[in-house]
Amino acid sequence: QTREHALLAYTLGVKQLIVAINKMDTTKWSEDRFKEIIKETSNFIKKVGYNPKTVPFVPISGFHGDNMLEASSNCPWYKGWEKETKGGKSTGKTLLDAIDAIEPPKRPTDKPLRLPLQDVYKIGGIGTVPVGRIETGILKPGMVVTFAPSNV
């Protein structure tokens, strides 16, 4: 399942990855098991197209909340994660640190506005509200926009 998720993420264009190794409490926080999982995971994410040096590996226990928000005392051997990206080197100990270290993707704001519609709501007293995500360009209040195709 992890292999499928990594392949799917890469195929969908996800550039940054975090590997949280859960249920470490069931292995009594075994450093050997953690290293074994890192080795296995690194091999297949490399085959998919990711560089393991850019991926933080974080041992966690979701059930107990260890290494999620605060560093856990249950794994004194764990010195933290490190990742190297074009933006520089990042380090941390927790899953939250790894999430905070994700670099926001660059958006092509210099291109024409493209906003694929996801849904359209009709709200009484307000009117028709189109919903979508801006893929390129910028949308500001008061802007006049054109919808395409024009026959809709």
**Amino acid occupying residue 113:** L
Residue ranges per domain, the chain? 2-100, 108-152
- On the 0-12 / 13-18 / 19+ scale of CB atoms within 10 A, 55 is buried
Q: How do residues 61-113 score in pLDDT, each as one tens digit?
A: 999 999 999 999 999 999 999 999 887 899 999 999 999 999 988 889 899 99
What pLDDT digit, counting tens, does each position of 111-125 carry? 999 999 899 999 999
Reported as a single tens digit per residue, the pLDDT across 138-150 is: 999 999 888 887 7
Write down the pTM of the prediction.
0.74
Closest CA to 97 of 70, 64, 63, 61: 70
CATH code given to domain 2-100:
3.40.50.300
Question: pLDDT-derived band of residue 151, with 50, 70 and 90 as boundaries?
Answer: low
Which amino acid appears at position 32 of this protein? Answer: D
Q: Which CATH class is domain 108-152?
A: mainly beta
HSE-CB at 141 with a 13 A cutoff on CA atoms is 0
